[in-house]
Structure 1
Amino acid sequence: MDSGIVILGLTAQHHKSLPQAPTCGQVALARTVTENVTVLDPTASDPTLPDTGSDTRPDTPPTPEAFRAPLAPPAPRHSVLEDVLGILTGTVIASFGLFLLKSSAAVTGGTAGLALLLSYVGAVPFGVLFFAVNVPFFLLAIWKKGWNFTLRTVAAVALVSLFSSLHPILLQVDTLNPVYGVLLGNLVIGVGLLVLFRHKASLGGFNILALIVQERLGWRAGYVQMTLDVVIVLAALTVVSPLVVLLSAAGAVVLNLVLALNHRPGRYLGT
């Protein structure tokens, strides 16, 4: 009898030492606490996992900045020596293209075309006429573009006038196919202009006048300049044959295509 009592007592103590199963109330309380923690911190991650430092929320839409290409670093500016060599290179190339046009008895647009047309009429050399025709546009450039651009343009026009006088002395052309001379001449002029544009210079021209007309009268500058170029090419009918005029018009298209396809601001690093 006593042994039975002892066994029952030991059994009771053994049950007390065993872990007790949670009651229904304890389970519900634990579930409520877990839900509250989830609501308060929906982005909380497993503390046992390593922290990657990134936001893993799947419902966050990407911002527009995520699709934009990174901005290119600012390009270094050309040095003075680079500008001098660039203007020399561009003027030599452009003047050689004008030499090819004059050897083909053709014209082109802009002040260069006007100077070529006047050189066919009178005995004044092309280089002198080219500089003289651009003098009024130098004054407009000071007003619209400032002294830096104007001085570079004056230097470029003066160099083209000089080189245009040297080419006939250094290079004698006996025969030149007009088609080849006109197309190649305008192509070479376009390359020379690209070099000058990269070094913040130009060969004068009607573009400044076209910009002023656009501001004053509201006419588009591109249409104004194209109209002036057409007038010059048509005026050549009084001096050269219609075939040469057609070739000159085709050459002007080639020149403008060279500039349109290769001179796009913001595309190149060099300034």
Structure 2
Amino acid sequence: MAMITDIMAAGKKNPARHTPLEDIQGILSGSMISALGLFLLGKVELLTGGMAGAAFLLHYWGGWSFGVLFFLLNMPFYILAFKRVGLDFTLKTFLAIGLTSGLVELQSRFISIQWMNPVWAAALGGLLLGYGLLALYRHRASLGGIGILAVYIQDRFGIRAGFVQLVHDLVIMALAFTVVSPEIVACSVLGAAVMNLFVAINHRSDRYIAQR
């Protein structure tokens, strides 16, 4: 889910810096919007890419809390994040994932949705996730560990990071057939495509590189 290579590239430049208050509002708003997007996807049993997709899969398999799963699945990647991108990025990412995990679990206390068309949920959920991720990326934070692992594998074994992320997401979508219908899998692919396309169009490290 995370475009770690772009975040690393931005960190090597000399941009205008965000203030601490700007970072706080960026991480908070990005986490809130991302949590809303994940909530909408979960209401119709959709999945997405990255660690969120793995958390959804386990949630549908065993009924465990998505928020707890999402938080725990990302834990092993913080060491890699610290080594690859630094303490600032690691702490911000930890905060963003913690906030998003908690907010996803709290959404049902504030929002009641009786029915939602899966195609619309995929498009809207994917777009909200894209907005949330964009806000986080611009403050040097992320929501997923798979991107960090992909960069590590690229450096260690020469396998391109994008290919690693693609394989991970394809495996998640393939396993999804064991818990949801083919129509829901197709909608999940749509949602992931909307999210990634939005981020790809709107996030470029050479266009917006402000950071702390």
**TM-score for both structures, normalised by structure 2:** 0.90
Alignment partner of 1:205 is 2:145: yes
Q: Aligned letter for 1:87?
A: I
Question: Equivalent pairs: percent with the same residue?
Answer: 48
Is 2:120 the partner of 1:180? Answer: yes
Residue 121 of structure 1 aligns to which amino acid in structure 2? Answer: W
Instruction: Verify: 1:251 aligned to 2:181, yes or no.
Output: no
- Quickly say closer, same or farther: Cα 1:269–1:129, change in 2 above 3 A: closer
Q: 1: CA distance between counterparts of 2:145 and 2:183?
A: 25
How far residue 269 of structure 1 moved from its aligned partner, in angstroms, is: 6.1
CA-to-aligned-CA distance 1:202-246 (integer Å, 9 cap, x gap): 112311111111112211111111110111111110000001101
Post-superposition Cα deviations, 1:19-55, rounded to whole Å, max 9, x if no partner, equal: xxxxxxxxxxxxxxxxxxxxxxxxxxxxxxxxxxxxx
Given residue 119 of structure 2, which amino acid in structure 1 is its aligned partner? V
Establish whether residue 196 from structure 1 lines up as the match of residue 143 from structure 2: no
Q: Could you list the runs of 5+ residues in structure 2 that have no partner in the other structure?
A: 1-13
Contact 1:138–1:204 (8 Å) recurs in 2: no
**Deviation, structure 1 residue 75:** 4.8
1:86-97 mapped onto 2 (5 Å cutoff): 86-97=26-37
Secondary structure in structure 2 of the residue aligned to 1:238? coil
Give, as a single letter, the amino acid of the residue that structure 2 aligns with 1:211.
V
Indicate the RMSD between aligned Cα atoms, in angstroms: 1.2
The total of aligned residue pairs comes to: 198
C-alpha distance in structure 2 between counterparts of 1:91 and 1:106, whole Å: 19
**Aligned partners of 1:126 and 1:169: how far apart in 2?**
15
Output one character per residue of 1:43-98: Cα deviation in whole Å (capped at 9) or x when no partner.
Answer: xxxxxxxxxxxxxxxxxxxxxxxxxxxxxxx7531110110111000000000000
- 2:67 is aligned to 127
Give the match's secondary structure for 2:140: coil
- Which residue identity lines up with residue 236 of structure 1 in the other structure? A
Q: Which has the higher helix share?
A: 2
Following TM superposition, by how much is the alpha carbon of 1:104 offset from its aligned partner in structure 2, in angstroms? 1.4
Aligned counterpart, 1:241: 181
1:217 and 1:203 map into 2 onto residues whose CA distance is 24
Rounded Cα–Cα distance in structure 2 between residues aligned with 1:211 and 1:158: 23
Alpha-carbon separation, structure 1, partners of 2:109 and 2:137: 28
1:222 aligns with 2:184: no
Partner Cα distance (1:269, 1:231) in 2: 32
- Greater relative contact order, per chain length (Cα 8 Å cut-off, separation 6+): 2
Structure 2 CA distance for aligned equivalents of residues 225 and 75 of structure 1: 28
What aligned pairs does 1:23-172 form with structure 2 within 5 A after superposition?
75-172=15-112
Q: Distance in 2 between matches of 1:176 and 1:190?
A: 20
Distance 1:192 1:234 in 2: 26
What is the alpha-carbon distance in structure 1 between the residues aligned to residue 115 and residue 68 of structure 2? 25
Alignment-derived partner of residue 51 in structure 1: none
Query: After the TM superposition, which segments of 4 or more aligned residues of structure 1 sit over 3 Å from their partners?
Result: none
Task: Give the CA deviation at 1:140.
Answer: 1.3
Aligned AA (1:164): V
Given the superposition, is the C-alpha separation of residues 269 and 148 from structure 1 closer, same or farther in structure 2, using an over 3 Å criterion? closer
